[in-house]
């Protein structure tokens, strides 16, 4: 969706751009809703969404490239969940 192979094909640029914006909008709007419910701290929802997106993109690429020492997708899913929790709640002592 964001990689070089798809972005070089200009025949579907408008449709692809619309899809990109839609998916990102879902994430950003979800964060806004969580902020309104006081479940997520206040702040720039776009920056928060881009941070979450970047984290999961990095995890996904590491899994796809075989750079994480996981033998099954279940372990990769567990790692993705743990990474998300660290992003949301930080690494500070509780």
pTM greater than 0.75: yes
On the question of pLDDT at 8 being above 80, the answer is no
Q: Can you say whether the dihedral through the CA atoms of 65, 68, 74, 78 is positive or negative?
A: negative
Residue in 44, 52, 43 with CA at minimum distance from that of residue 23: 52
> Cα–Cα distances in Å, from 32 out to 2, 23, 89?
23, 15, 17
On the question of pLDDT at 90 being above 80, the answer is yes
What pLDDT digit, counting tens, does each position of 39-74 carry? 999 999 999 999 999 999 999 898 888 888 777 777
């Amino acid at each position: 969706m964001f990689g070089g192979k798809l972005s070089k094909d200009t025949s579907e640029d408008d449709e692809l751009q619309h899809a990109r914006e839609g998916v990102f909008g879902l994430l950003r709007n979800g964060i806004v809703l969580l902020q309104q419910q006081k479940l997520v701290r206040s702040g720039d929802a776009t920056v928060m969404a881009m941070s979450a997106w970047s984290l999961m993109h990095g995890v996904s690429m590491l899994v796809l490239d075989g750079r994480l020492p996981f033998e099954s997708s279940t372990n990769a899913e567990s790692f993705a969940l743990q990474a998300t929790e660290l992003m949301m709640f930080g690494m500070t002592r509780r």
